[in-house]
Structure 1
Amino acid sequence: MYIKKILLVIALLGLVAGGIFAYYVYQAVFSPNTNFESKSTTIYLPTDATYTELIEVITPVVNDIYSFDRIARRKGYVNSIKAGRYIIKKGSNNNEIINTLRSNNAPIHVSFNNQERLENLAGRIATQIEADSVSLVTAFKDTAFLNEKGFVSENALAMYIPNKYEFFWNTSATQFRERMLKEYNRFWNTNRLSKLKEIGLTREQVATIASIVQKETAKVDERPRVAGVYMNRYLNGWKLDADPTVIFALKKHRNDWDTVIKRVLYKDLEIDSPYNTYKYKELPPGPISMPDISSIDAVLNYERHEYYFFVANVENFGYHKFAKTIGQHNRNKKQYINWINKQGINR
């Protein structure tokens, strides 16, 4: 009888211990374990991150790092850390957090436009994905890649079509470049290639003219007309005489890309540079900035007209006055010069 009582007590103690253990396991696995007030928080795990680095990143996010660590080890997550951007929802338990870190790398939207050089593009992209600007510039200027794909360093900017794209945060520099090449080829669809053939230009030439058009006017509805002026000049063997190309040439010559030049002076027109379209009839070696889609399409669908000249319209700011003859243009230009002198803009 006495032995039976002992066995009963032992059994009861075992049940209690088992219940306590089961409760602990349940708490560790399924109880909420987040330490933030917002609906969610985002963490970033760099490429080749170790488990120790993961613990450093996740510690501020969870209430109980010890229970997280224990469950992570039991689930075998310690040896399967994956780089990426992960969104942890408020109230998530350890099991849900670990499952998120295993398989829910959240994509981001990467956008860019109006970049003047590959270096500027790299700086812009580096603020949005893991790859740094140095690795991006190296990838963008890789001679072997450019030669293989039919580009040179001067026109490589044309390969990057401004838009909003979905990427994983841990995209590498070469992965970004390869994706942009695919987007570039997708952009130049059958319709655009047909337009290209119709106007007798290459994709790179269109990008170069489009970059000038974009610098000349911010008004999307005016871009086909401005493009028409430059196409009239180009197709008739004229020099383009485009102020933005001179500004680019000056910046490049001085290696000063931060300077702001609001007024091109006559002495500036003498700079000896292939980008100076007042001196050379040939198109510049490449884009003087990153043309957006509206500027590219403006060139492909340029307005057919007889205008060869244009100047800023001081009566309708942002737009331009167009002229067919030099006499008419000089009258329009005089009005603009008088206005700009009154503003005291000397440079």
Structure 2
Amino acid sequence: MSGLLGFCRQGFEPELAAELTERAAMAGIAGYARAQRNDGYVLFASDEADALDRAMPSRDLVFARQKLRVLAELRGLDPRDRISPMLAALEGQRFGDLWVEHPDSDSAKPLAGLARSFGNALRPALRKAGVLSAQDDTRLPRLHVVFVQGDHAFLARSQPRDASPWPLGIPRLKLLPDAPSRSALKLEEALLVLLDADERARLLKPGMTAADLGAAPGGWTWVLTRQHLRVTSVDNGPLRQHVLDTGLVEHLRADGFHWKPAQSLDWMVCDMVEQPRRVAERMATWFREGWCRHAIFNLKLPMKKRWDETRLCLDLFAEQASRPLTVRARQLYHDREEITVFATRHS
């Protein structure tokens, strides 16, 4: 078996399969997607897996939480000895770290105990065989053992520089007691996933200015104030008092979808329930008119043809913004029927 393995939200397998298929076709690489709804992963089989891996940087993928290069698919594993066939399949290769995982799906969650215990047994066996370095080494590929059933596993690799730094691609965030709403986790995850550490340091500096469109009850505003940004929160609804008490927030009771700032801001964020094409067009207006330099916004997707709508909205946004932008989008762990988009103007 050769190809790519992508983790995704349960139920979004068709979207990831469609995305991988289209991106492979655009790169001129033959292959096919193997997916079943609610499995939490998609396999894209191809005889040109290395070229496919290079053609699809993880950061460019929307519906994949994690992208792995498949090395082998092992079926019919004997519970009494799963290690020997893995060592045989990995002979001659070397890795800097080991992750034993399972898809984030209802059917695969019972495999969590197996993944933990098997990792403890496999790690010393791999080191003894010279397959795994004695200490974590980010210069080498990471080995992923992905159980989809107790007797069925994929062996795969990732390059640390082109992979999520979290198992299953899921940052485990805690909702703090003073967070005004669970939506705060969406923006916190977006800042971790869509921006790298250098970008967070450069683009989120104390004293920068931001607008939060559709802010009530203040979850995204609260996240921005924790970065010490000064925020104009636009919503006809109320904000939580402790958010206003930060001294960093001006609450304007107005329609966030039509409001515009008097002067250019560093940031604009938006998590409003509107048709995704309308949101894409409005967000493009913010960049075209020079009202912000950076933005994070959500696009609420329809129940069907979500990849088609995603591609249409992102193309529409880029076209109507009418200026060079860096754009990244991801279906985040804390999202639901939506994707989150980060956009920044080129200097």
TM-score, normalization: structure 2?
0.24
TM-score, normalization: structure 1?
0.24
More strand by share: 2
Please tell me whether Structure 1 or Structure 2 has the larger radius of gyration of its CA atoms.
Answer: 1
More helix by share: 1
